[in-house]
C-alpha cells in the first residue's frame, strides 16, 4: 500500500519562495509544514544570486544574515548604465536612507541552505528532497493535497489544508490546477557566462548598451563576474554555429575591459548558458486549497534581478495570511477568498516591476535610431530626476516601501 501523509501546509518547490515560506510558517505558528523538492540537492548552475535590499532586510529579521555574512557575500553598491561608453544613468546605493543599503550577491544554494538549515531546527518543519510532485488531489473542486514520487519511485499522497505552488517558472502544478498563464516572450534571449573579476572592478551592476546590443555585468561572489549578452529570441543554436571568437568580439566591443579575460576563460560555447527570457502573467493565483507564489505566479524579466526578491517577499506576506487563517479555522481547507488581499497587494508590486521592466526592455531593444535617441534621453532625464532615489528604493525594497497586507513576523 502506498504511503500517505497528513500535514497542514504542503509547499511544492524548495526554491527561495518555498524555502522561505516553510521557515516563516514553521517559526511563527504551530502548523505542520512540509516542503517537497524534486531535486536531490540544491546545486543550481545559474540562478538568481543578487538579493535585493528588501529581502536582505527579511534575512536580517530572521537572523540569517549574520551567518551568511560569515560564509561570505558581495555587497553591490550601485548600478550604472552606459550608452556607447557614456554613463547615462547611475544609482549609488550609499544614497539610500535605510539600514540595508546594498544588494548582496551569493550563490543560491548557500542562501537556500541557510534558510532550510534554520527551518530544520523546528520540530513542525519537514523537507523531502527527491520528491517530485506529480499530481493534485481534488475533491469537490477543492485542492486537498498532492501526490509525489519519491527517489525510489514510490507514489506518496499528502493531504493538507493548503497546497502552495512554489515550483518556479516551469511549474506544472499551475496547469494541473487548470490555471492558464499568459506567457509573453521578448524579442531577445540572453547568453550568460562567468569570468574572473579584475581586483579593481567597481562593485556596481553595469549595463553597457551599444545600438541593438547590450551586456549586463554582475559582480558575483566570491571573485567573478556574471555576464549576459542579448541575442535574438530563439537563436542560441544558430548563434552557436559561429566561431567562439565572434562571440568574444561582440562582448569586447560592448565592454573593452573584458578584452583578454573573455578569450582566456570562455574557450567554447560550452562555457555559456542560455537564459530563455519570458514573462508569465497569471490571472488567478489561487483556488480553494491552493495558492501560487514566486515565479509560478509571476515570472518576470531578469532586468534588475527582481525574481528572488519578489519570491521571498511573497512568502513573507503569505505566511501571515496562512497562519492567521488556520489559527481561526484549524484543519479547514483554505478558501480562495482568504488569499484575495494577499493577491491584490502583491499584484500591485508585481505590476509595477513588470511595467518598469517592459519599459527598460523596450529601450534596450530599440531597433531604430529614433528609438535609441529616445532611450538615451529617457535614461539621462531619469538620472537627473529628483525622484530617482525614491524609484530605485521602491524597486529595491518592495513591500517595505509599500503597505504590507498584514502585521509583522515576530521571528
Ligand atoms: C539564469 C538566471 C539568472 C537569474 N538571476 C537573478 C538574479 O540575479 N536576481 C534575482 O532576483 N532573480 C534572478 N533570476 C530569477 C530567480 O532565479 C527566480 O525568480 C527565483 O529563483 C524564483 O524563485 P522560486 O522559488 O519562485 O522558483 P525557483 O527558484 O525556480 O524554485 C522552484 C523549485 O521548485 C522545484 N520544483 C519544480 N517542480 C517541482 C515539482 N513538480 N515537485 C517538486 N519540486 C519541484 C524546483 O526544482 C526548484 O527547486 C534568475 C533566473 C535565471 C534563470
Local confidence pLDDT in tens for the 411 residues of the chain: 578 999 999 999 999 999 999 999 999 999 999 999 999 987 765 567 899 999 999 999 999 999 999 999 999 999 999 999 899 999 999 999 899 999 999 999 999 999 999 999 999 999 999 999 999 999 999 999 999 999 999 999 999 999 999 999 999 999 999 999 999 888 889 999 999 999 999 999 999 999 999 999 999 999 999 999 999 999 999 999 999 999 999 999 999 999 999 999 999 999 999 988 889 999 999 999 999 999 999 999 888 889 999 999 999 999 999 999 999 999 999 999 999 999 999 999 999 999 988 888 888 888 899 999 999 999 999 999 999 999 899 889 886 653 333 334 543
Residue nearest to atom 19 of ligand 1 (CA): 307
In angstroms, the CA 262 to CA 258 distance is 6
Distance 228 CA to ligand 1 centre (A): 18
In angstroms, the CA 43 to CA 243 distance is 30
Distance 169 CA to ligand 1 centre (A): 7
Is the peptide bond prior to 222 cis by the omega test (within 30 degrees of 0)? Answer: yes
Residue nearest to atom 13 of ligand 1 (CA): 48
Most ligand 1 atoms within 8 A of CB, residue of 167, 292, 305, 316 to mutate = 167
Angle at which helix 340-364 crosses helix 307-328, to 10 degrees, equals: 170
Which of 408, 173, 126, 396 shows the shortest CA–CA distance to 293? 173
Q: Which residue(s) pair with 209 in the sheet?
A: 83, 214
**Rg of the Cα trace of the chain?**
22
Supply the pLDDT for residue 277.
85
Supply the pLDDT for residue 196.
98
Ligand 1 pocket, residues with Cβ under 6 angstroms: 12-18, 36-39, 46-50, 132-133, 166-169, 172, 192, 275, 294-295, 302, 305-309, 311
Distance 236 CA to ligand 1 centre (A): 21
In angstroms, the CA 138 to CA 288 distance is 10
Distance 333 CA to ligand 1 centre (A): 27
At a CB cut-off of 8 Å and minimum separation 6, what does 214 contact? 207, 208, 229, 230, 254, 364
Q: Given strand 155-159, what is the order of strands in its sheet? A: 4-6, 155-159, 142-149, 132-139
Q: Is 244 in contact with 267 (CB distance < 8 Å)?
A: yes
Supply the pLDDT for residue 400.
63
Supply the pLDDT for residue 16.
95
Ligand 1 atom closest to Cα of 44?
49
Q: Residue by residue, what is the 3-state secondary structure of the chain? A: CCCEEECCEEEECCCHHHHHHHHHHHHHCCCCEEEEECCCCCCCCCCCCEECHHHHHHHHHCCCHHHHHHHCCEEECEEEEEECCEEEEEEEHHHCCCCCCCEEECCHHHHHHHHHHHHCCCCCEEEEECCEEEEEEEECCEEEEEEEECCCCCEEEEECCEEEECCCCCCCHHHHCCCCCEEEECCEEEEEEEEECCCCCCCEEEEEEECCEEEEEEEECCCEEEEEEEEECCCHHHHCCCCHHHHHHHHHHHCHHHCCHHHHHCCCHHHCEEECCEEEECCCCEECCEEECHHHCCCCCCCCCCHHHHHHHHHHHHHHHHHHHHHHCCCCCCCHHHHHHHHHHHHHHHHHHHHHHHHHHHHHCCCCHHHHHHHHHHHHHHHHCCCHHHHHHHHHHHHHHCCCCCCCCCC
Which of 361, 306, 316, 393 shows the shortest CA–CA distance to 62? 316
Question: Phi, psi (5° rounding) for residue 273?
Answer: -145, 145
Distance 88 CA to ligand 1 centre (A): 32
Q: Is 132 in contact with 140 (CB distance < 8 Å)?
A: no
Residue nearest to atom 6 of ligand 1 (CA): 48
Ligand 1 atom closest to Cα of 13?
34
In angstroms, the CA 11 to CA 31 distance is 13
Supply the pLDDT for residue 302.
82
Most ligand 1 atoms within 8 A of CB, residue of 12, 14, 15, 171 to mutate = 15
In angstroms, the CA 104 to CA 58 distance is 13
Distance 226 CA to ligand 1 centre (A): 17
Residue nearest to atom 37 of ligand 1 (CA): 167
Ligand 1 atom closest to Cα of 294?
26
Beta strand 9-12 pairing with 162-165? parallel
At a CB cut-off of 8 Å and minimum separation 6, what does 379 contact? 81, 83, 88, 89, 363
In angstroms, the CA 378 to CA 329 distance is 51
Distance 281 CA to ligand 1 centre (A): 16
Distance 261 CA to ligand 1 centre (A): 29
Distance 15 CA to ligand 1 centre (A): 6
Supply the pLDDT for residue 3.
86
Supply the pLDDT for residue 364.
86
Distance 35 CA to ligand 1 centre (A): 15
Distance 235 CA to ligand 1 centre (A): 23
Residue nearest to atom 41 of ligand 1 (CA): 133
Residue nearest to atom 27 of ligand 1 (CA): 168
In angstroms, the CA 165 to CA 13 distance is 7
Q: Which residue(s) pair with 244 in the sheet?
A: none
Supply the pLDDT for residue 45.
53
Amino acid at each position: 500500500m502506498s504511503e500517505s501523509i497528513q500535514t497542514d501546509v504542503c509547499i511544492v518547490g524548495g526554491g527561495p519562495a518555498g524555502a522561505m515560506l516553510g521557515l516563516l510558517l514553521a517559526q511563527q505558528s504551530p502548523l505542520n509544514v512540509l516542503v517537497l523538492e524534486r531535486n536531490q540537492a540544491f546545486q543550481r548552475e545559474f540562478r538568481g544570486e543578487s538579493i535585493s535590499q528588501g529581502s536582505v532586510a527579511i534575512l536580517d529579521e530572521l537572523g540569517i544574515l549574520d551567518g551568511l555574512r560569515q560564509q561570505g557575500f558581495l555587497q553591490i553598491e550601485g548600478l550604472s548604465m552606459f550608452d556607447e561608453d557614456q554613463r547615462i544613468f547611475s544609482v549609488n546605493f550609499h544614497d539610500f536612507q535605510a539600514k540595508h543599503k546594498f544588494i548582496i550577491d551569493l550563490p543560491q544554494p548557500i542562501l537556500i541552505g541557510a534558510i532550510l538549515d534554520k527551518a530544520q531546527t523546528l520540530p513542525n518543519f519537514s523537507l523531502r528532497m527527491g520528491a517530485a510532485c506529480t499530481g493534485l488531489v481534488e475533491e469537490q473542486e477543492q485542492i486537498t493535497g498532492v501526490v509525489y514520487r519519491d527517489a525510489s519511485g514510490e507514489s506518496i499522497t499528502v493531504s493538507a489544508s493548503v497546497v502552495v505552488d512554489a515550483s518556479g517558472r516551469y511549474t506544472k502544478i499551475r496547469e494541473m490546477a487548470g490555471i492558464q498563464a499568459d506567457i509573453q516572450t521578448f524579442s531577445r534571449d540572453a547568453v550568460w557566462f562567468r569570468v574572473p573579476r579584475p581586483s579593481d572592478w567597481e562593485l556596481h551592476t553595469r549595463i553597457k548598451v551599444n545600438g541593438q546590443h547590450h551586456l549586463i555585468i554582475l559582480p558575483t561572489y566570491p571573485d567573478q563576474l556574471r555576464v549576459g549578452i542579448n541575442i535574438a529570441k530563439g537563436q542560441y543554436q544558430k548563434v552557436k554555429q559561429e566561431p567562439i571568437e565572434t562571440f568574444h568580439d561582440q562582448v569586447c566591443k560592448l565592454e573593452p575591459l573584458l578584452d583578454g579575460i573573455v578569450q582566456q576563460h570562455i574557450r567554447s560555447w560550452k562555457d555559456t548558458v542560455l537564459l530563455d527570457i519570458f514573462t508569465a502573467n497569471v490571472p488567478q493565483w489561487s483556488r480553494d486549497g491552493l495558492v501560487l507564489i514566486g515565479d509560478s505566479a509571476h515570472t518576470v524579466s531578469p532586468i534588475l534581478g527582481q525574481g528572488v526578491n519578489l519570491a521571498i517577499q511573497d512568502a513573507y506576506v503569505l505566511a501571515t495570511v496562512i497562519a492567521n487563517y488556520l489559527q481561526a479555522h484549524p484543519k479547514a481547507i483554505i478558501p480562495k477568498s482568504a488569499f484575495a488581499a494577499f493577491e491584490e497587494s502583491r499584484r500591485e508590486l508585481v505590476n509595477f516591476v513588470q511595467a518598469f521592466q517592459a519599459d527598460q526592455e523596450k529601450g534596450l531593444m530599440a531597433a531604430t535610431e529614433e528609438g535609441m535617441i529616445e532611450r538615451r534621453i529617457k535614461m539621462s532625464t531619469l538620472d537627473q530626476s529628483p525622484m530617482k532615489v525614491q524609484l530605485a528604493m521602491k524597486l529595491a525594497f518592495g513591500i517595505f516601501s509599500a503597505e504590507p497586507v498584514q502585521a509583522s513576523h515576530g521571528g
